[in-house]
Every structure is written in C-alpha cells, then in structure tokens.
C-alpha cells in the first residue's frame, strides 16, 4: 500500500476519533470520549504537528478536556506539554490553558492555577496588579460608577459590541477561570 493511501487512512481514522470523542463529550460520556481521543493521539506521529497541525491540536485539546472531566490526571499531566510546545499561536493554547487551570484547581494546586491564569491574562495584555488593596478597589469602583452615572439601561444596551479580539478573549478568560480561582 502506498504511503499516500496509508496517510489518507490514518487521517480518516483521526477524524473518526475526533468525531466520536466530540459526540461522546456532547452526550456527557467523558470516559468514552477519553478513550476515543487517546486512540486518535496514539495514531499521531511526531511529524503530525507539521503535516496535520489542525488535527493534532484539536485531538489534544479535546482529549485534555475529557481527561480533566474524568479525573485522568496522570494522563493529563503526561500529555499537556506537547500541545503547549507545538501550538503555532497563543489562541491555540487558550483552551489548553483553561483545562490546565481546571486541572490544577481540582488537584488542589490553587497557587499554580492562579499563576497560570495571571500569565495568560498578561499574555493577552491584561495586567492584574498584585499590590491591590480594598482602597484601590473602592477607587476603581467609584471611577466606574461616575462614568455610568448619567447612563440609562437603554444607553448601556445600545453600546456597540466589543470587537477587539484580545479584549473579548481576555473577558472570556476572566469569566471562565474566575469560578476555578474563587477557591484560591
């Protein structure tokens, strides 16, 4: 059998594993998803990060989510570094970092979860001051309140949607990670 046919067959198998894994996750069958996705990852070669990048990142991303959901922490730890190393851009790492924060929180490693979250926010251009205190918070809250003083609910609802990609991602990151970090 030619190399091209073998490659096409493996790619078809990868997609089958991703499709089965996604379907299992959408049905809350995380153990089945983890098994399908682990199989898909086992079919990947080292060159797949070059030849089949999108497939590789998607397999790892989805598998890591399933591993966290099923408590397969040793498997998660063994696999999380590879997509973080091979990701071509920061956006491709975001969900992996999200699952890493979830894992660290569940594993009782809250300080590492917080440090990871702060590092992601920093990479997104959102610096969180570490020397904040109640007085800083009250001053900022007062400033925002003053900005909104003459605004009606309708005024606020009529504001344009945020279209700065980094700001949208930062906001989504804050919302999704804040629950995990609340315990910190």
Longest Cα–Cα distance in the chain: 73
Task: Name the pTM for this structure.
Answer: 0.74
Name every residue whose Cβ is closer than 8 Å to that of residue 79 and which is 6 or more positions away in sequence.
41, 60, 63, 64, 67
Quick one: which of 98, 83, 63 has its CA closest to 169? 98
| pLDDT tens profile 33-47 | 788 788 888 888 888
pLDDT over 50 (residue 82):
yes
Q: Which domains are seen in the chain, by residue range?
A: 3-181 (1.25.40)
| pLDDT tens profile 55-66 | 899 989 999 999
**Tokens in use for 1?**
């059998």
Give me the numbers of helices (H) and strands (E) for the chain, helices first please.
11, 0
């Amino acid at each position: 059998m030619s190399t091209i046919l073998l490659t096409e067959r493996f790619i078809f198998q990868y997609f089958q594993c991703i499709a089965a894994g996604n379907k299992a996750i959408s049905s809350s069958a995380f153990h089945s998803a983890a098994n399908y996705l682990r199989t898909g990852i086992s079919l990947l070669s080292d060159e797949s990060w070059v030849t089949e990048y999108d497939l590789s990142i998607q397999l790892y991303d989805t598998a890591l989510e399933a591993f966290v959901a099923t408590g397969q922490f040793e498997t998660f730890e063994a696999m999380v570094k590879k997509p973080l190393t091979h990701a071509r851009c920061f956006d491709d790492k975001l969900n992996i970092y999200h699952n890493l924060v979830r894992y660290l929180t569940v594993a009782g490693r809250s300080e590492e979860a917080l440090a990871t979250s702060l590092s992601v926010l920093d990479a997104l251009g959102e610096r969180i001051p570490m020397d904040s205190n109640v007085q800083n918070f009250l001053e900022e809250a007062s400033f925002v309140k003053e900005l909104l003083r003459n605004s009606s609910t309708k005024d606020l609802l009529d504001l344009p949607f945020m279209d700065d990609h980094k700001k949208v991602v930062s906001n989504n990151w804050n919302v999704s990670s804040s629950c995990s970090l609340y315990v910190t």
